[in-house]
Chains A and B, each alone.
Chain A
Protein backbone atom coordinates (compact mmCIF):
# COMPACT_ATOMS: atom_id res chain seq x y z
CA UNK A 1 0.00 0.00 0.00
CA UNK A 2 1.51 3.42 -0.89
CA UNK A 3 2.33 5.75 1.97
CA UNK A 4 -0.79 7.82 2.53
CA UNK A 5 -0.44 11.58 2.61
CA UNK A 6 -2.96 13.55 4.58
CA UNK A 7 -3.34 16.76 6.56
CA UNK A 8 -4.12 17.01 10.24
CA UNK A 9 -4.22 19.38 13.18
CA UNK A 10 -0.62 19.27 14.50
CA UNK A 11 -0.70 15.48 14.07
CA UNK A 12 -3.22 15.28 16.93
CA UNK A 13 -5.62 12.32 17.01
CA UNK A 14 -9.17 13.00 15.78
CA UNK A 15 -10.69 10.38 18.08
CA UNK A 16 -10.36 9.78 21.79
CA UNK A 17 -8.52 6.57 22.64
CA UNK A 18 -10.74 4.06 24.43
CA UNK A 19 -10.79 4.65 28.18
CA UNK A 20 -11.04 0.89 28.69
CA UNK A 21 -7.90 -0.67 30.06
CA UNK A 22 -6.48 -4.19 30.08
CA UNK A 23 -9.47 -5.37 32.11
CA UNK A 24 -11.76 -5.20 29.08
CA UNK A 25 -9.28 -7.12 26.93
CA UNK A 26 -9.08 -9.69 29.71
CA UNK A 27 -12.89 -9.86 29.87
CA UNK A 28 -13.06 -10.61 26.16
CA UNK A 29 -11.01 -13.70 27.00
CA UNK A 30 -12.78 -14.76 30.21
CA UNK A 31 -16.22 -14.21 28.68
CA UNK A 32 -15.36 -16.45 25.74
CA UNK A 33 -13.77 -19.03 28.02
CA UNK A 34 -16.88 -19.14 30.19
CA UNK A 35 -19.24 -19.55 27.23
CA UNK A 36 -17.22 -22.32 25.65
CA UNK A 37 -16.83 -24.13 28.99
CA UNK A 38 -20.59 -23.98 29.55
CA UNK A 39 -21.18 -25.62 26.16
CA UNK A 40 -18.64 -28.35 26.85
CA UNK A 41 -20.08 -28.89 30.32
CA UNK A 42 -23.62 -29.32 28.99
CA UNK A 43 -22.48 -31.66 26.21
CA UNK A 44 -20.45 -33.74 28.65
CA UNK A 45 -23.48 -33.93 30.94
CA UNK A 46 -25.68 -35.28 28.15
CA UNK A 47 -23.08 -37.79 26.93
CA UNK A 48 -21.98 -39.13 30.33
CA UNK A 49 -18.51 -37.63 30.77
CA UNK A 50 -18.51 -36.59 34.46
CA UNK A 51 -14.97 -35.18 34.65
CA UNK A 52 -15.38 -33.04 31.53
CA UNK A 53 -18.81 -31.96 32.81
CA UNK A 54 -17.35 -30.87 36.11
CA UNK A 55 -14.49 -28.99 34.41
CA UNK A 56 -16.91 -27.28 32.03
CA UNK A 57 -19.43 -26.23 34.66
CA UNK A 58 -16.87 -25.02 37.18
CA UNK A 59 -14.78 -23.36 34.48
CA UNK A 60 -17.85 -21.55 33.19
CA UNK A 61 -18.71 -20.14 36.62
CA UNK A 62 -15.11 -19.31 37.49
CA UNK A 63 -14.55 -17.44 34.25
CA UNK A 64 -17.92 -15.72 34.63
CA UNK A 65 -16.95 -14.58 38.11
CA UNK A 66 -13.69 -13.18 36.77
CA UNK A 67 -15.64 -11.47 33.97
CA UNK A 68 -17.99 -9.81 36.44
CA UNK A 69 -15.08 -8.53 38.47
CA UNK A 70 -13.27 -7.19 35.39
CA UNK A 71 -16.38 -5.48 34.01
CA UNK A 72 -17.33 -3.80 37.26
CA UNK A 73 -13.77 -2.79 38.14
CA UNK A 74 -13.30 -1.11 34.75
CA UNK A 75 -16.20 1.29 35.34
CA UNK A 76 -15.38 4.86 36.27
CA UNK A 77 -17.96 4.48 39.08
CA UNK A 78 -17.93 0.78 40.00
CA UNK A 79 -20.49 1.25 42.78
CA UNK A 80 -23.02 2.21 40.10
CA UNK A 81 -22.74 -1.03 38.12
CA UNK A 82 -26.43 -1.75 38.74
CA UNK A 83 -27.31 1.27 36.61
CA UNK A 84 -26.71 -1.10 33.70
CA UNK A 85 -30.04 -2.69 34.60
CA UNK A 86 -32.02 0.57 34.43
CA UNK A 87 -32.75 0.14 30.73
CA UNK A 88 -32.79 -2.45 27.96
CA UNK A 89 -31.48 -0.67 24.89
CA UNK A 90 -31.12 -2.59 21.61
CA UNK A 91 -29.00 0.19 20.08
CA UNK A 92 -26.31 -0.35 22.73
CA UNK A 93 -24.38 -3.62 22.44
CA UNK A 94 -23.28 -3.10 26.05
CA UNK A 95 -26.90 -3.05 27.19
CA UNK A 96 -27.68 -6.09 25.03
CA UNK A 97 -24.62 -7.79 26.55
CA UNK A 98 -25.76 -6.93 30.06
CA UNK A 99 -29.05 -8.73 29.50
CA UNK A 100 -27.33 -11.64 27.77
CA UNK A 101 -25.18 -12.05 30.89
CA UNK A 102 -28.27 -11.75 33.10
CA UNK A 103 -29.82 -14.62 31.15
CA UNK A 104 -26.59 -16.59 31.21
CA UNK A 105 -25.56 -16.20 34.83
CA UNK A 106 -28.18 -18.08 36.86
CA UNK A 107 -28.01 -21.33 34.87
CA UNK A 108 -24.24 -21.24 34.90
CA UNK A 109 -24.26 -20.69 38.65
CA UNK A 110 -26.72 -23.45 39.51
CA UNK A 111 -24.95 -26.00 37.30
CA UNK A 112 -21.60 -25.21 38.89
CA UNK A 113 -22.84 -25.15 42.47
CA UNK A 114 -24.44 -28.56 41.92
CA UNK A 115 -20.94 -29.90 41.22
CA UNK A 116 -19.81 -28.63 44.60
CA UNK A 117 -22.45 -30.29 46.77
CA UNK A 118 -20.51 -32.28 49.40
CA UNK A 119 -21.11 -36.03 49.48
CA UNK A 120 -22.93 -35.85 52.80
CA UNK A 121 -25.48 -33.35 51.47
CA UNK A 122 -26.43 -35.21 48.32
CA UNK A 123 -29.21 -37.19 50.01
CA UNK A 124 -30.78 -34.16 51.69
CA UNK A 125 -33.46 -32.05 50.05
CA UNK A 126 -31.38 -28.99 49.00
CA UNK A 127 -28.69 -31.29 47.60
CA UNK A 128 -31.19 -33.45 45.71
CA UNK A 129 -32.95 -30.36 44.36
CA UNK A 130 -29.70 -28.82 43.16
CA UNK A 131 -28.59 -31.98 41.41
CA UNK A 132 -32.01 -32.34 39.80
CA UNK A 133 -31.81 -28.72 38.57
CA UNK A 134 -28.25 -29.02 37.33
CA UNK A 135 -29.03 -30.40 33.89
CA UNK A 136 -31.73 -27.89 32.84
CA UNK A 137 -29.64 -25.11 34.37
CA UNK A 138 -26.57 -26.19 32.43
CA UNK A 139 -28.57 -26.47 29.23
CA UNK A 140 -30.07 -23.01 29.69
CA UNK A 141 -26.62 -21.59 30.18
CA UNK A 142 -25.34 -23.45 27.10
CA UNK A 143 -28.22 -22.06 25.05
CA UNK A 144 -27.15 -18.49 25.82
CA UNK A 145 -23.41 -19.22 25.61
CA UNK A 146 -22.98 -18.58 21.85
CA UNK A 147 -24.44 -15.11 22.37
CA UNK A 148 -22.04 -14.48 25.27
CA UNK A 149 -19.09 -15.43 23.07
CA UNK A 150 -20.11 -13.35 20.04
CA UNK A 151 -21.78 -10.16 21.29
CA UNK A 152 -18.42 -8.78 22.43
CA UNK A 153 -17.36 -8.53 18.78
CA UNK A 154 -20.30 -6.20 18.12
CA UNK A 155 -19.44 -4.36 21.35
CA UNK A 156 -16.05 -3.46 19.88
CA UNK A 157 -17.17 -2.99 16.27
CA UNK A 158 -19.99 -0.60 17.04
CA UNK A 159 -17.55 2.15 17.92
CA UNK A 160 -15.77 4.82 15.91
CA UNK A 161 -12.46 3.00 16.58
CA UNK A 162 -11.22 2.33 13.02
CA UNK A 163 -9.53 -1.04 13.57
CA UNK A 164 -12.55 -2.46 15.40
CA UNK A 165 -15.20 -0.92 13.18
CA UNK A 166 -13.62 -1.91 9.87
CA UNK A 167 -13.21 -5.53 11.03
CA UNK A 168 -16.88 -5.99 11.93
CA UNK A 169 -17.42 -8.81 9.43
CA UNK A 170 -14.56 -10.98 10.69
CA UNK A 171 -14.37 -10.09 14.37
CA UNK A 172 -17.31 -12.28 15.51
CA UNK A 173 -15.66 -15.33 13.93
CA UNK A 174 -12.32 -14.53 15.55
CA UNK A 175 -14.10 -14.22 18.87
CA UNK A 176 -16.17 -17.40 18.73
CA UNK A 177 -13.21 -19.34 17.33
CA UNK A 178 -10.99 -17.99 20.08
CA UNK A 179 -13.67 -18.80 22.68
CA UNK A 180 -14.04 -22.36 21.39
CA UNK A 181 -10.27 -22.88 21.52
CA UNK A 182 -10.05 -21.49 25.06
CA UNK A 183 -12.88 -23.65 26.47
CA UNK A 184 -11.45 -26.69 24.73
CA UNK A 185 -8.06 -25.82 26.20
CA UNK A 186 -9.54 -25.80 29.71
CA UNK A 187 -11.18 -29.14 28.99
CA UNK A 188 -7.84 -30.61 27.88
CA UNK A 189 -6.14 -29.34 31.03
CA UNK A 190 -8.79 -30.60 33.46
CA UNK A 191 -10.38 -33.73 31.99
CA UNK A 192 -8.71 -37.14 31.61
CA UNK A 193 -7.69 -38.22 28.11
CA UNK A 194 -10.47 -40.83 28.01
CA UNK A 195 -13.21 -38.19 28.33
CA UNK A 196 -11.61 -35.34 26.41
CA UNK A 197 -12.34 -36.33 22.80
CA UNK A 198 -14.98 -33.58 22.30
CA UNK A 199 -12.60 -31.01 23.76
CA UNK A 200 -9.88 -32.11 21.35
CA UNK A 201 -12.23 -31.81 18.38
CA UNK A 202 -13.49 -28.41 19.56
CA UNK A 203 -9.89 -27.27 19.98
CA UNK A 204 -9.11 -28.04 16.34
CA UNK A 205 -12.32 -26.46 15.02
CA UNK A 206 -11.96 -23.35 17.17
CA UNK A 207 -8.28 -22.87 16.38
CA UNK A 208 -8.94 -23.23 12.64
CA UNK A 209 -11.80 -20.72 12.70
CA UNK A 210 -9.84 -18.26 14.82
CA UNK A 211 -6.67 -18.46 12.73
CA UNK A 212 -8.40 -18.02 9.37
CA UNK A 213 -10.64 -15.19 10.58
CA UNK A 214 -7.71 -13.47 12.28
CA UNK A 215 -5.79 -13.46 8.99
CA UNK A 216 -8.81 -12.03 7.18
CA UNK A 217 -9.01 -9.21 9.73
CA UNK A 218 -5.53 -8.11 8.71
CA UNK A 219 -6.25 -8.03 5.01
CA UNK A 220 -9.89 -7.03 4.68
CA UNK A 221 -9.97 -3.99 6.96
CA UNK A 222 -8.46 -1.51 4.49
CA UNK A 223 -5.98 0.90 5.97
CA UNK A 224 -7.04 -0.12 9.49
CA UNK A 225 -5.55 -3.55 8.78
CA UNK A 226 -2.18 -1.89 9.24
CA UNK A 227 -2.94 -1.43 12.95
CA UNK A 228 -3.12 -5.25 13.22
CA UNK A 229 0.02 -5.83 11.17
CA UNK A 230 2.34 -3.49 13.07
CA UNK A 231 3.71 -2.86 16.55
CA UNK A 232 2.61 -4.48 19.76
CA UNK A 233 -0.69 -5.72 18.32
CA UNK A 234 1.23 -7.60 15.65
CA UNK A 235 3.60 -9.20 18.16
CA UNK A 236 0.75 -10.29 20.43
CA UNK A 237 -1.17 -11.78 17.51
CA UNK A 238 1.87 -13.59 16.09
CA UNK A 239 2.39 -15.29 19.44
CA UNK A 240 -1.31 -16.03 19.58
CA UNK A 241 -1.23 -17.67 16.17
CA UNK A 242 1.78 -19.85 17.06
CA UNK A 243 0.30 -20.95 20.39
CA UNK A 244 -3.17 -21.58 18.97
CA UNK A 245 -1.98 -23.63 16.01
CA UNK A 246 0.58 -25.44 18.19
CA UNK A 247 -2.13 -26.22 20.75
CA UNK A 248 -4.46 -27.50 18.04
CA UNK A 249 -1.78 -29.76 16.57
CA UNK A 250 -1.08 -31.04 20.06
CA UNK A 251 -4.76 -31.76 20.55
CA UNK A 252 -4.89 -33.55 17.22
CA UNK A 253 -2.07 -36.00 17.90
CA UNK A 254 -0.19 -36.49 21.22
CA UNK A 255 -3.03 -35.36 23.46
CA UNK A 256 -4.96 -38.49 22.50
CA UNK A 257 -2.54 -40.59 24.51
CA UNK A 258 -0.53 -38.47 26.88
CA UNK A 259 -2.10 -36.52 29.73
CA UNK A 260 1.00 -34.29 29.90
CA UNK A 261 0.69 -33.46 26.20
CA UNK A 262 -3.00 -32.69 26.69
CA UNK A 263 -2.25 -30.29 29.52
CA UNK A 264 0.48 -28.59 27.48
CA UNK A 265 -1.82 -28.26 24.45
CA UNK A 266 -4.62 -26.91 26.63
CA UNK A 267 -2.39 -24.27 28.19
CA UNK A 268 -1.13 -23.23 24.75
CA UNK A 269 -4.71 -22.84 23.51
CA UNK A 270 -5.70 -20.78 26.56
CA UNK A 271 -2.68 -18.51 26.17
CA UNK A 272 -3.25 -18.18 22.41
CA UNK A 273 -6.85 -17.15 22.95
CA UNK A 274 -5.94 -14.56 25.58
CA UNK A 275 -3.18 -13.05 23.42
CA UNK A 276 -5.56 -12.80 20.45
CA UNK A 277 -7.95 -10.69 22.54
CA UNK A 278 -5.18 -8.44 23.83
CA UNK A 279 -3.81 -8.07 20.28
CA UNK A 280 -7.17 -7.01 18.88
CA UNK A 281 -7.71 -4.63 21.78
CA UNK A 282 -4.29 -3.10 21.25
CA UNK A 283 -4.81 -2.65 17.50
CA UNK A 284 -7.98 -0.69 18.21
CA UNK A 285 -6.30 1.60 20.70
CA UNK A 286 -3.43 2.28 18.29
CA UNK A 287 -5.83 3.07 15.45
CA UNK A 288 -7.33 5.93 17.49
CA UNK A 289 -3.96 7.49 18.25
CA UNK A 290 -2.84 8.07 14.65
CA UNK A 291 -5.14 10.46 12.74
CA UNK A 292 -4.32 8.75 9.44
CA UNK A 293 -6.65 5.85 10.24
CA UNK A 294 -9.53 8.33 10.45
CA UNK A 295 -8.62 10.95 7.86
CA UNK A 296 -7.27 8.89 4.95
CA UNK A 297 -10.19 6.44 4.44
CA UNK A 298 -12.79 9.18 5.03
CA UNK A 299 -11.03 11.46 2.57
CA UNK A 300 -10.87 8.65 0.00
CA UNK A 301 -14.58 7.87 0.18
CA UNK A 302 -15.49 11.54 -0.10
CA UNK A 303 -13.66 11.94 -3.41
Chain B
Protein backbone atom coordinates (compact mmCIF):
# COMPACT_ATOMS: atom_id res chain seq x y z
CA UNK B 1 0.00 0.00 0.00
CA UNK B 2 1.49 3.31 -1.02
CA UNK B 3 1.03 6.47 0.95
CA UNK B 4 -0.84 7.93 -2.01
CA UNK B 5 -3.36 5.08 -1.90
CA UNK B 6 -3.89 5.58 1.82
CA UNK B 7 -4.61 9.25 1.20
CA UNK B 8 -7.04 8.92 -1.68
CA UNK B 9 -8.57 5.49 -1.14
CA UNK B 10 -10.71 5.59 1.98
CA UNK B 11 -11.28 1.81 2.14
CA UNK B 12 -7.51 1.26 2.29
CA UNK B 13 -7.14 4.02 4.86
CA UNK B 14 -9.90 2.38 6.95
CA UNK B 15 -7.93 -0.86 7.02
CA UNK B 16 -9.61 -3.08 4.45
CA UNK B 17 -7.01 -5.42 2.95
CA UNK B 18 -8.22 -6.90 -0.31
CA UNK B 19 -11.19 -4.86 -1.39
CA UNK B 20 -13.10 -3.95 -4.54
CA UNK B 21 -12.23 -0.65 -6.24
CA UNK B 22 -13.83 2.52 -4.90
CA UNK B 23 -17.09 3.15 -6.71
CA UNK B 24 -19.30 6.20 -6.96
CA UNK B 25 -21.50 8.40 -9.09
CA UNK B 26 -20.69 10.84 -11.84
CA UNK B 27 -23.81 12.96 -12.29
CA UNK B 28 -23.63 14.77 -15.62
CA UNK B 29 -26.25 17.48 -15.17
CA UNK B 30 -25.91 18.64 -18.80
CA UNK B 31 -28.04 15.68 -19.89
CA UNK B 32 -30.44 15.57 -16.94
CA UNK B 33 -34.04 15.98 -18.14
CA UNK B 34 -35.59 16.34 -14.67
CA UNK B 35 -37.71 13.18 -14.89
CA UNK B 36 -37.10 12.28 -11.22
CA UNK B 37 -36.91 8.57 -12.05
CA UNK B 38 -33.87 8.50 -9.73
CA UNK B 39 -35.92 9.83 -6.81
CA UNK B 40 -38.65 7.26 -7.43
CA UNK B 41 -36.31 4.32 -7.96
CA UNK B 42 -34.42 5.19 -4.78
CA UNK B 43 -37.60 5.38 -2.70
CA UNK B 44 -38.90 2.12 -4.17
CA UNK B 45 -35.73 0.11 -3.68
CA UNK B 46 -34.76 1.43 -0.28
CA UNK B 47 -38.27 1.68 1.17
CA UNK B 48 -37.79 5.37 1.96
CA UNK B 49 -41.01 6.89 3.32
CA UNK B 50 -42.70 9.80 1.58
CA UNK B 51 -41.86 13.27 2.79
CA UNK B 52 -45.17 14.98 2.15
CA UNK B 53 -46.88 16.04 -1.05
CA UNK B 54 -46.00 19.71 -1.02
CA UNK B 55 -46.02 22.28 -3.78
CA UNK B 56 -42.95 24.33 -2.99
CA UNK B 57 -43.10 26.97 -5.71
CA UNK B 58 -39.52 26.18 -6.75
CA UNK B 59 -40.03 25.37 -10.43
CA UNK B 60 -40.66 21.63 -10.78
CA UNK B 61 -38.82 20.88 -7.55
CA UNK B 62 -41.34 19.71 -4.98
CA UNK B 63 -38.83 17.61 -3.06
CA UNK B 64 -36.94 20.64 -1.77
CA UNK B 65 -33.76 19.22 -0.38
CA UNK B 66 -31.92 16.02 0.47
CA UNK B 67 -32.92 14.64 3.85
CA UNK B 68 -33.75 11.56 5.87
CA UNK B 69 -36.60 10.76 3.47
CA UNK B 70 -35.08 12.03 0.21
CA UNK B 71 -31.82 10.38 -0.77
CA UNK B 72 -31.92 11.76 -4.32
CA UNK B 73 -33.15 15.29 -5.01
CA UNK B 74 -33.57 16.80 -8.45
CA UNK B 75 -32.98 20.55 -8.44
CA UNK B 76 -34.63 22.76 -11.08
CA UNK B 77 -33.18 26.19 -11.79
CA UNK B 78 -34.86 28.55 -14.23
CA UNK B 79 -32.48 31.19 -15.51
CA UNK B 80 -33.93 33.98 -17.66
CA UNK B 81 -30.54 35.15 -18.91
CA UNK B 82 -27.66 32.70 -19.30
CA UNK B 83 -24.17 33.95 -18.48
CA UNK B 84 -23.15 34.30 -22.10
CA UNK B 85 -24.88 33.86 -25.45
CA UNK B 86 -23.71 30.73 -27.13
CA UNK B 87 -24.91 30.66 -30.71
CA UNK B 88 -24.23 33.28 -33.36
CA UNK B 89 -27.29 35.30 -34.32
CA UNK B 90 -28.99 34.20 -37.54
CA UNK B 91 -27.96 36.54 -40.33
CA UNK B 92 -30.83 38.24 -42.17
CA UNK B 93 -30.17 37.91 -45.90
CA UNK B 94 -33.05 40.21 -46.82
CA UNK B 95 -34.90 37.51 -48.81
CA UNK B 96 -38.65 37.86 -49.17
CA UNK B 97 -40.67 35.90 -46.65
CA UNK B 98 -43.57 33.63 -47.44
CA UNK B 99 -44.99 33.78 -43.90
CA UNK B 100 -48.35 35.38 -43.33
CA UNK B 101 -48.29 38.44 -41.10
CA UNK B 102 -48.62 37.31 -37.50
CA UNK B 103 -47.65 33.73 -38.27
CA UNK B 104 -44.26 34.18 -36.62
CA UNK B 105 -43.53 32.28 -33.46
CA UNK B 106 -42.67 35.40 -31.49
CA UNK B 107 -39.22 33.99 -31.00
CA UNK B 108 -37.51 37.31 -31.71
CA UNK B 109 -39.31 38.90 -28.77
CA UNK B 110 -38.30 36.24 -26.27
CA UNK B 111 -35.40 36.56 -23.90
CA UNK B 112 -33.10 33.62 -23.84
CA UNK B 113 -33.92 31.07 -21.18
CA UNK B 114 -32.14 28.14 -19.66
CA UNK B 115 -33.29 25.37 -17.39
CA UNK B 116 -30.73 23.68 -15.18
CA UNK B 117 -31.57 20.32 -13.69
CA UNK B 118 -29.36 18.33 -11.39
CA UNK B 119 -29.89 15.19 -9.34
CA UNK B 120 -28.18 15.68 -5.99
CA UNK B 121 -27.12 12.84 -3.69
CA UNK B 122 -24.86 12.06 -0.72
CA UNK B 123 -21.26 12.77 -1.78
CA UNK B 124 -19.67 9.78 0.02
CA UNK B 125 -16.70 12.01 0.87
CA UNK B 126 -13.12 10.74 1.11
CA UNK B 127 -12.97 12.56 4.47
CA UNK B 128 -16.54 12.28 5.69
CA UNK B 129 -17.62 14.66 8.45
CA UNK B 130 -20.63 12.54 9.41
CA UNK B 131 -18.49 9.43 9.77
CA UNK B 132 -15.76 11.22 11.75
CA UNK B 133 -18.13 12.59 14.39
CA UNK B 134 -20.45 9.58 14.82
CA UNK B 135 -19.96 8.52 18.47
CA UNK B 136 -21.52 5.05 18.24
CA UNK B 137 -19.86 3.60 15.16
CA UNK B 138 -23.26 3.44 13.45
CA UNK B 139 -21.76 5.20 10.43
CA UNK B 140 -19.05 3.16 8.77
CA UNK B 141 -16.90 3.04 5.65
CA UNK B 142 -17.72 0.12 3.37
CA UNK B 143 -15.24 -1.89 1.34
CA UNK B 144 -16.43 0.08 -1.71
CA UNK B 145 -15.37 3.37 -0.11
CA UNK B 146 -18.96 4.51 0.51
CA UNK B 147 -20.35 5.75 3.83
CA UNK B 148 -23.34 3.91 5.32
CA UNK B 149 -25.47 4.22 8.50
CA UNK B 150 -26.34 1.04 10.40
CA UNK B 151 -29.93 1.57 11.55
CA UNK B 152 -29.62 -1.02 14.31
CA UNK B 153 -26.77 0.93 15.93
CA UNK B 154 -27.73 4.58 15.39
CA UNK B 155 -29.13 6.14 18.56
CA UNK B 156 -30.15 9.39 16.94
CA UNK B 157 -27.62 11.68 18.64
CA UNK B 158 -27.78 13.98 15.62
CA UNK B 159 -24.08 14.83 15.53
CA UNK B 160 -23.71 13.65 11.91
CA UNK B 161 -26.43 16.11 10.84
CA UNK B 162 -24.26 19.03 11.94
CA UNK B 163 -21.04 17.33 10.84
CA UNK B 164 -21.99 17.21 7.15
CA UNK B 165 -20.74 20.25 5.20
CA UNK B 166 -23.25 19.53 2.41
CA UNK B 167 -26.41 19.32 4.55
CA UNK B 168 -27.20 15.80 3.34
CA UNK B 169 -27.85 13.49 6.28
CA UNK B 170 -30.79 14.18 8.60
CA UNK B 171 -32.75 12.60 11.44
CA UNK B 172 -36.13 11.10 10.58
CA UNK B 173 -38.82 12.75 12.69
CA UNK B 174 -40.99 9.83 13.73
CA UNK B 175 -38.12 7.36 13.85
CA UNK B 176 -35.38 9.24 15.66
CA UNK B 177 -32.48 7.81 13.66
CA UNK B 178 -30.27 9.36 10.97
CA UNK B 179 -30.72 8.26 7.37
CA UNK B 180 -29.09 8.92 4.03
CA UNK B 181 -28.05 7.36 0.72
CA UNK B 182 -26.28 4.01 1.13
CA UNK B 183 -25.01 3.91 -2.46
CA UNK B 184 -27.33 0.86 -2.49
CA UNK B 185 -24.87 -1.17 -0.43
CA UNK B 186 -27.13 -4.21 -0.67
CA UNK B 187 -27.22 -4.02 -4.47
CA UNK B 188 -23.45 -3.52 -4.76
CA UNK B 189 -22.82 -6.73 -2.86
CA UNK B 190 -25.00 -8.55 -5.39
CA UNK B 191 -23.10 -7.04 -8.31
CA UNK B 192 -25.88 -4.59 -9.25
CA UNK B 193 -25.60 -0.86 -9.77
CA UNK B 194 -27.52 1.52 -7.47
CA UNK B 195 -31.22 1.90 -8.23
CA UNK B 196 -31.02 5.58 -9.25
CA UNK B 197 -28.28 4.99 -11.83
CA UNK B 198 -30.15 1.96 -13.14
CA UNK B 199 -33.32 4.02 -13.60
CA UNK B 200 -31.74 7.12 -15.16
CA UNK B 201 -32.95 7.20 -18.79
CA UNK B 202 -30.28 9.60 -20.10
CA UNK B 203 -27.25 8.27 -18.22
CA UNK B 204 -27.02 11.57 -16.41
CA UNK B 205 -26.31 9.41 -13.35
CA UNK B 206 -23.35 7.17 -14.14
CA UNK B 207 -22.14 4.55 -11.70
CA UNK B 208 -18.76 2.84 -11.72
CA UNK B 209 -15.20 2.73 -10.38
CA UNK B 210 -14.29 6.26 -9.39
CA UNK B 211 -11.06 6.36 -11.43
CA UNK B 212 -12.96 5.52 -14.59
CA UNK B 213 -15.68 8.04 -13.83
CA UNK B 214 -13.13 10.81 -13.29
CA UNK B 215 -11.50 10.04 -16.62
CA UNK B 216 -14.86 10.00 -18.39
CA UNK B 217 -15.89 13.27 -16.71
CA UNK B 218 -12.73 15.06 -17.85
CA UNK B 219 -13.39 13.97 -21.42
CA UNK B 220 -16.99 15.10 -21.19
CA UNK B 221 -16.00 18.56 -19.96
CA UNK B 222 -13.48 18.91 -22.79
CA UNK B 223 -16.11 17.86 -25.29
CA UNK B 224 -18.59 20.38 -23.92
CA UNK B 225 -16.01 23.16 -23.97
CA UNK B 226 -15.25 22.34 -27.61
CA UNK B 227 -18.95 22.39 -28.46
CA UNK B 228 -19.46 25.90 -27.12
CA UNK B 229 -20.48 25.25 -23.53
CA UNK B 230 -17.63 27.02 -21.73
CA UNK B 231 -19.50 27.08 -18.39
CA UNK B 232 -19.29 23.31 -17.95
CA UNK B 233 -17.20 22.45 -14.90
CA UNK B 234 -16.67 19.54 -12.53
CA UNK B 235 -17.63 19.73 -8.85
CA UNK B 236 -16.24 17.45 -6.17
CA UNK B 237 -13.94 15.42 -8.40
CA UNK B 238 -10.64 16.76 -7.04
CA UNK B 239 -8.89 14.75 -4.29
CA UNK B 240 -7.31 18.05 -3.20
CA UNK B 241 -10.53 19.77 -2.09
CA UNK B 242 -11.66 20.26 1.53
CA UNK B 243 -13.21 16.80 1.81
CA UNK B 244 -10.51 14.91 -0.09
CA UNK B 245 -12.76 14.50 -3.12
CA UNK B 246 -16.29 13.19 -3.40
CA UNK B 247 -17.30 9.64 -4.19
CA UNK B 248 -20.27 11.22 -5.95
CA UNK B 249 -19.25 14.18 -8.10
CA UNK B 250 -20.97 16.35 -10.67
CA UNK B 251 -20.70 18.17 -13.95
CA UNK B 252 -22.39 21.54 -13.45
CA UNK B 253 -23.31 24.36 -15.81
CA UNK B 254 -23.15 27.16 -13.24
CA UNK B 255 -21.63 27.91 -9.84
CA UNK B 256 -22.36 25.20 -7.24
CA UNK B 257 -24.33 27.54 -4.96
CA UNK B 258 -26.89 28.04 -7.75
CA UNK B 259 -27.76 24.34 -7.29
CA UNK B 260 -27.73 24.66 -3.48
CA UNK B 261 -24.25 23.17 -3.15
CA UNK B 262 -21.51 24.76 -0.99
CA UNK B 263 -18.75 26.33 -3.16
CA UNK B 264 -15.81 25.11 -1.07
CA UNK B 265 -16.88 22.57 1.58
CA UNK B 266 -14.37 21.51 4.22
CA UNK B 267 -14.66 18.52 6.55
CA UNK B 268 -15.00 19.99 10.08
CA UNK B 269 -12.51 17.43 11.39
CA UNK B 270 -9.69 19.09 9.46
CA UNK B 271 -9.31 21.73 12.19
CA UNK B 272 -9.64 19.23 15.07
CA UNK B 273 -6.00 19.41 16.26
CA UNK B 274 -6.22 23.18 16.52
CA UNK B 275 -9.57 22.94 18.32
CA UNK B 276 -8.26 20.51 20.92
CA UNK B 277 -5.20 22.70 21.38
CA UNK B 278 -7.34 25.72 22.25
CA UNK B 279 -9.59 23.57 24.44
CA UNK B 280 -6.49 22.34 26.26
CA UNK B 281 -5.34 25.90 26.83
CA UNK B 282 -8.76 26.91 28.13
CA UNK B 283 -8.91 23.84 30.41
CA UNK B 284 -5.44 24.63 31.80
CA UNK B 285 -6.45 28.22 32.45
CA UNK B 286 -9.55 26.96 34.26
CA UNK B 287 -7.56 24.53 36.39
CA UNK B 288 -4.97 27.18 37.21
CA UNK B 289 -7.69 29.64 38.22
CA UNK B 290 -9.37 27.03 40.42
CA UNK B 291 -6.13 26.25 42.21
CA UNK B 292 -5.05 29.84 42.66
CA UNK B 293 -8.34 31.01 44.19
CA UNK B 294 -7.63 28.71 47.13
CA UNK B 295 -4.05 29.88 47.57
CA UNK B 296 -5.02 33.48 48.44
CA UNK B 297 -3.72 35.12 51.60
CA UNK B 298 -5.43 32.58 53.79
CA UNK B 299 -8.45 34.84 54.10
CA UNK B 300 -11.48 32.63 54.40
Contacts and interface: CB of A to CB of B under 8 A. Distances in A.
Contact of B257 (A36, A39, A84, A295): A295
B167 interface: yes
Contact of B158 (A20, A165, A209, A288): A20
Contact of B272 (A150, A158, A180, A294): A158
B72 interface: no
B300 A159 contact: no
A119 interface: no
B293 A198 contact: yes
Contact of B156 (A15, A46, A76, A147): A76
Contacts, number: 248
B175 interface: yes
B64 interface: yes
A14 B261 CA distance: 6
A87 B275 contact: no
Contact of B133 (A92, A198, A201): A92
A286 to B, nearest CB: 14
B26 interface: no
A75 B275 contact: no
Interface string B256-267: 011111111100
B294 A91 contact: no
Interface stretch (A93-101, A121-129, A230-238, A240-248): A93-101
A147 B289 contact: no
Contacts of A6: 257
Interface residues of B, number: 73
B289 A175 contact: no
B276 interface: yes
A76 B177 contact: yes
B227 to A, nearest CB: 25
Contacts of B167: 13-16, 160, 288
13 contacts: A9-B260, A14-B262, A15-B164, A19-B161, A39-B286, A49-B300, A76-B154, A151-B279, A153-B275, A172-B283, A173-B278, A176-B285, A295-B257
* A-B pairs with lowest CB-CB distance, top 7: A76-B156, A76-B176, A9-B260, A172-B282, A80-B155, A146-B283, A19-B158
